[in-house]
Amino acid sequence: MPAVEPSADGGHPATIEAGPRGDSTTADEAPEATGAADESQGTDAGVSEDGAIASEFDCTDAGVPPSTLECTGLYADFASKTITDDVHPYAPAVPLWSDGAAKQRWIRLPPGMTIDATNPSEWTFPVGTKLWKEFALDGKRIETRLFQKVLRNYWVNATYQWNGDDSATSISFGGDVPVGADGGSWHIPVPDECSQCHRGRSDRVLGFEQVNLGLPGATGLTLDELVSQGLIAPPPGATSLQIGDDGTGLAAPALGWLHVNCGVTCHNGNENSIGYGAGMRLRLDPALLDGRPVAGWDTIVTTANVATVSGSAMGQPRIVPGDPADSVLVRLISERGKEQMPPIASKLVDQTDVPKVVDWIAHMPSANAGAADGAILDVAAEASAASDDAMADESMDDATALADQAAGDAGTESGDDAMADVNIGDAPPVPDQSAADGGIESSGDDSTGAERADEP
């Protein structure tokens, strides 16, 4: 990716790569691609240079992504936090575990455009799509993240940190920020961490997907609402989905949690996902979610009595039906530290839903075994045959060391992002018209995506 040259005012314009051709342009050079003419950006309430709340905030020349949340188009009125009319709230049926944070989510689709659902597991979004996710603890906003699609195969993303009284935001470059009165901290992801997860989908969007919008519990712009409003094509055959069972009565919540927290991002069949090489497939197939029995599903076939392929647990079974204590997967999702799963973006174990996974495995019938008689499934060879880019499985220590480095080293540069990974406390002044942020390609050409085999 080409280096980002400083702009005249000392900031860094967002660099936008045009995909496999290798050419690039800046946001200032390609307004038609970056959404500079986006009608959702205009005058709004905001913050003046001295930090006071202004009655109007001129976003006409805001960069892409803008340097403040006020200019992203989320709010019709920032002071009152009134959401813009064409921005839709939504909540997935099974939320990603985020250390107990309360979250709100929104999406805006360009007028007259639809989501391409030709591949139910890999939706493609129209250029101009924007998604926001807000995180709050104890009623206090901490950060809001933006993903904006600016080209056919390229997204820009930014994170905005809220000030103490929720009256203003500033762009964040990631790092730990203090929260609460007890000395606690919250980790805002650096760009490389964002890329590690979002590369798991070809068009980079994770939570706004067919499975999680179609299961019971989804609200707002659900799968059914997308179809009713003509916002998705071709429309799915079913808009009310259901995870089946294996006779335990416990499979659905466990499989849903594993799908969201492990499968959507890393452990799936997308060759760019960071856990592809391990051969463990935890993402659910929406075509199977009609209440049918779960026997034979990828989640079970690639885990039950299937050996871990690398690291300190090499040779040990990922899941032992009926025995969670000897299941590597249980150990990794039940701890935080060097070998935790997920490897990033969490410091606390999900004490509500992890026990549901444990209980399911404890009652799982032995007939659910993925490899007969406990035989080792050579997933490394399987992954290599499936992709010329796959390599030998890395050790667990190497994979988790990468996550530790991403969480603790705010000075490394992402291969996918042009934004410098600096601690929020060291961030330079934010320019008025462009944010120092990078982008994420959605071309599926990431040469390193199939090479890392996260475990178990």
Mean pLDDT of 32-54: 40
Distance CA 379, CA 367 (A): 21
Distance between CA atoms of residues 400 and 308, nearest Å? 15
Q: Where are the alpha helices (DSSP H) in 345-395?
A: 354-363, 379-386
State mean pLDDT over 76-97. Answer: 97
Which is more confident, 214 or 402?
A: 214
Instruction: Inform me whether the pLDDT recorded for 440 exceeds 70.
Output: no
Domain extents in the chain: 15-207+400-441, 241-399
* In the chain, % of residues over pLDDT 90: 62
pLDDT over 60 at 426, yes or no: no
CA distance 329 to 352: 17
> What does the pLDDT average to over 238-252?
97
Helix (H) or strand (E) holding 440: strand 439-441
Integer angstrom CA distances of residue 427 from 171, 222, 422, 437: 9, 38, 6, 12
**pLDDT of 45:** 41
- Give the 3-state secondary structure of 155-177: EEEEEEEECCCCCCEEEECCEEE
3-class DSSP assignment, residue 44: strand
pLDDT value at position 442?
59
Between 75 and 436, name the one with better pLDDT: 75
What residue spans of 293-366 are helical by DSSP H? Answer: 298-301, 328-333, 354-363
pLDDT over threshold 60, residue 330: yes
Which pLDDT score, from 0 to 100, does residue 38 have? 47
Query: In the prediction, which pLDDT does 388 show?
Result: 39
- Give the mean pLDDT of the chain: 77
Average pLDDT over residues 215-229: 98
Does residue 84 register a pLDDT over 90?
yes
> Which pLDDT does position 62 carry in this prediction?
86
In this predicted structure, which of 128-142, 175-189, 297-311, 432-446 has the lowest mean pLDDT?
432-446
Local confidence band at 370 (pLDDT 50, 70, 90 cut-offs): low
Mean pLDDT of 23-41: 38
Is pLDDT at 56 greater than 70 in this prediction?
Answer: no
Instruction: Give the Cα separation of 244 and 296 in Å (integer).
Output: 12
pLDDT digits (tens, 9 = 90+) for 334-364: 999 988 998 888 999 999 999 999 999 999 9
155-200 pLDDT per residue, tens: 999 999 999 999 999 999 999 999 987 888 999 999 889 989 999 9
For residue 8, what are the contacts with CB-CB under 8 A and spacing of at least 6?
none
Q: Mean pLDDT across the stretch 398-421?
A: 37
